[in-house]
Chains A and B, each alone.
Chain A
Amino acid sequence: MRNRIMLLLTVAFAGLIVWNLKHILLDVPDEARQDAIFRILYFHAPAAIVGLTGFGVGMVFSGVYLATKNFYWDTLAAATTEVSLMLAAINLVTGSIWGRQQWGVWWAWDARLTSMLVCWLIFAGYMMLRRAIEEPDTRARLSAVVSLFGTVNAWFVYKVIEWFPRLQHPGPVLSFRTGGRIDRQLETPFFWMVLVYMILAVVLVMIRMRQESVAREIDSLRRMAHA
């Protein structure tokens, strides 16, 4: 059943990405000031939205683990965070390429960029922490603390462009944050791209969970072998 859902989601991902890439690259007109380069934002911002949301979802899963002490939730939190870290990396790298073309620099130490980098580093630390601690309960509890800390930072990343409007990073442009400053023709493929990244994230988390269940099976067989 799980394999069938994964296959279905992968097909949906492939179909949607081809269809939406066609829109982004061929149908959407160039932006007046940025020309073609603005299309990077169709990858840069949706990766951030899904990645930052994923960090928050991972924190919720960690919270469920703390409440229930069921390791399934801790594993799910780790899988969600790992995939979100990959999406956050896409956000940072594509943003840097966009900045090089638009600002003439690969990086600017403004609050948005710096807080996103800090967020990425916190969750990279989360993954390293999980590798470093062998005792499952300690690992899960400390992971939950780091996840909470990182998610607070992720919320700061989201809000910082409202709190500090004079940043080098552009302010909010999507209509749900500004009340309609962006043309719908430009905005619709953006939301499709958010969906594409969400589907991708779900598939990758499912693959990670399958791997974790194999790892658990190996552990129990090892215990049997040594008993």
Chain B
Amino acid sequence: MNGNFEYLCYGLVAAWLIVALYVLLLGMRESKLAKELERVRHMVEPRGK
């Protein structure tokens, strides 16, 4: 593998790694929000009954 192609690979990996990390962050935020929503709903439900 020549050096030029090696750096192209680094670039491609970096480009998609940043997207993957951001999507992972969104996924973590989503599951945190879902848990929080569930928790707050349980807090409210007894009052609604």
User: Which residues does A use to contact B, with CB under 8 Å?
Assistant: 34-37, 39-40, 43-44, 47, 83, 86, 89-90, 93-94, 97-98, 100-101, 200, 204, 207-208, 211, 214-215, 217-218, 221-222, 224-225
Of the A-B pairs whose beta carbons lie under 8 Å apart in the complex, a sample of 6, sorted by A's number, is A43-B12, A44-B11, A90-B19, A97-B14, A221-B40, A225-B47
User: Given A86-B22, A204-B26, A207-B26, are A221 and B14 also a contact pair (CB < 8 Å)?
Assistant: no
Among B7, B22, B40, which residue has its beta carbon within 8 angstroms of that of A37? Answer: B7
User: Which residues does B use to contact A, with CB under 8 Å?
Assistant: 2-5, 7-8, 10-12, 14-15, 18-19, 22-23, 26, 29-30, 33-34, 36-37, 40-41, 43-44, 47
Among B4, B15, B30, which residue has its beta carbon within 8 angstroms of that of A211? Answer: B30
Query: Closest residue of chain A to B40, judged by CB?
Result: A221
Main secondary structure of the interface of A (DSSP, over half): helix
| B40 touching A222, Cβ below 8 Å | yes
Sorted nearest first, the 4 A-B pairs with minimum C-beta distance are A40-B11, A101-B7, A43-B15, A221-B40
Among B3, B15, B47, which residue has its beta carbon within 8 angstroms of that of A90? Answer: B15
Q: Which of B12, B36, B43 gathers most chain A CB within 10 Å?
A: B12
| A37 touching B30, Cβ below 8 Å | no
What's the nearest-Cβ distance from chain A to residue B14, in Å? 5
| B40 touching A225, Cβ below 8 Å | yes
Among B4, B19, B34, which residue has its beta carbon within 8 angstroms of that of A214? Answer: B34
| A93 touching B14, Cβ below 8 Å | yes
Query: Closest residue of chain B to A17, judged by CB?
Result: B16
What's the nearest-Cβ distance from chain A to residue B21, in Å? 9
Contacts of B44 in A (CB 8 A): 221, 224-225
What's the nearest-Cβ distance from chain A to residue B33, in Å? 5
| B43 touching A225, Cβ below 8 Å | yes
What's the nearest-Cβ distance from chain A to residue B3, in Å? 7
